Structure 1
């Protein structure tokens, strides 16, 4: 379990080289400044950004398939997990879907500053986004499963991996789903929060 910022940075170094870590340092400065202008993340998490946002994002890679298929990050907000994932996997196209205009502007600034040529930003509601075949679909605090799965199913195939950080509600939320959804997903423990879980699934949900 990652207990502090030093351990979180060491964890991130498993997935990023020195240049990647430096880019996250740059993102930290930008995030702190922008957070004074708009509420991108909870203020209290800025001091623990490596644990609460960077390591929390990069831990999804241990459950992701190999390959260079599209990673679709729904309701990406401030860019998590999408931005750290894009840094760690530069050969993979990462599509960030975000409907709020000011956050879309922030994402565009971040992508440019970090030099992320593999990132595409879709600045619209998910319902209006063009369908893309995703190898991985992630969504961090975007919507409950009962709403998320019907919205996102059209982006999935039998080979799609779903990575859905659900905090401390993961087990309960999965238990409230249909038998088919419960069979499709399982819960993995978070490495950044002992009480949090990640719903990991594969395939096309039966919605």
Structure 2
């Protein structure tokens, strides 16, 4: 059985992502933090280290090739997914992690401190409360259905900015709930899912 570092290296090669050794070590240090804090804070239902590499690190990094340049907001960041892995992979990109849960915000601030994520800002707040249109890209993973998520994210995007929503098997149902014009304007990309099962879907919405 392969170790988490070996699984990470294999997965990065499959995604076509080249990260320095220090970045790979930082990704694994993040998983270690997630495991330790998970015992008390219940940040993720995934507890097996090998599965965490695939479902958390690689699944988050799979959207990296689709990110437009500029400031990124991770909406409803939770345990930092996909925001923390993306911040590690792209240390020059300004990244804001937003979550309303005090315990999750405490964890994210600890991640920022221990992992040396100088370009990361952690904010406690409600994703549905609106916000300033200052981001080129908003990411969201398991936050809300598209019919709720798009109007939640759009006010935070600059004109021409993009929402990248990470979705799973229910994506067809969510698309069916949208007005026809909105659904037709979305892009859909299949991503390597957890364990390579191909069931991870990226939905891209562009603000006019």
Give SS of 1:135's match: strand
When normalised by structure 1's length, the TM-score is 0.88
Q: Give the distance between the partners of 1:25 and 1:61, measured in 2 at CA.
A: 18
> What does residue 125 of structure 1 align with?
126
8 A contact 2:163–2:204 mirrored in 1: yes
**Equivalent residues in 2 for 1:9-20, closer than 5 Å:** 9-12=9-12, 14-20=17-23
Contact 2:43 2:79 in 1 (8 A): yes
Residue from 28, 32, 44 that aligns with 1:29 = 32
Runs ≥4 in structure 1, deviation > 3 angstroms? 4-9, 43-47, 127-130
Cα distance change, pair 19–114 in 1 and its aligned pair in 2 (3 A): same
Structure 2: how far apart are the matches of 1:48 and 1:199?
Answer: 24
Scaled by the length of structure 2, the TM-score of the pair is 0.87
Mean Cα deviation higher: 45-54 or 133-142: 45-54
CA contact (8 A) 1:133 1:155 kept: yes
Decide whether aligned partners of structure 1 residues 171 and 126 sit closer, same or farther in structure 2, where only a CA change above 3 A counts.
Answer: same
C-alpha deviation, 1:46, in angstroms: 4.0
Superposition CA RMSD, Å? 1.9
Q: In the aligned structure 1, how far is the partner of 2:186 from the partner of 2:48?
A: 29
Aligned residues: 199
1:15 touches 1:58 (CA, 8 Å); kept in 2?
no
Distance 1:130 1:176, change over 3 A: closer
The C-alpha deviation readout for 1:47-105, integer Å capped at 9, x for no partner, is 4111100111111111112x3x1111100000000001111111111011100000000
* Aligned 8 A contact 2:130 2:152 in 1: no
Q: In the alignment, is residue 42 of structure 1 matched against residue 45 of structure 2?
A: yes
Secondary structure in structure 1 of the residue aligned to 2:143: coil
| TM-superposed deviation, 1:43 | 3.4
1:108 and 1:150, CA in 2 relative to 1: closer, same or farther beyond 3 A? same
For structure 2, the residue ranges without an aligned partner over 5 or more in a row are none
- Provide structure 1 residue ranges, at least 5 long, that are not aligned to the other structure: none
For residues 45 and 183 of structure 1, the distance between their equivalents in structure 2, rounded to whole angstroms, comes to 39
Q: Is the 8 A contact 2:130 2:156 kept in 1?
A: no
> Greater CA deviation, 108-117 or 46-55?
46-55
Q: Which residue of 2 aligns with 1:51?
A: 54
Task: Indicate the structure with greater strand content.
Answer: 2
Residues 168 and 45 (structure 1), Cα distance of their counterparts in 2 relative to 1, 3 Å cut: farther
Does the CA-based 8 Å contact 1:9-1:55 persist in structure 2?
Answer: no
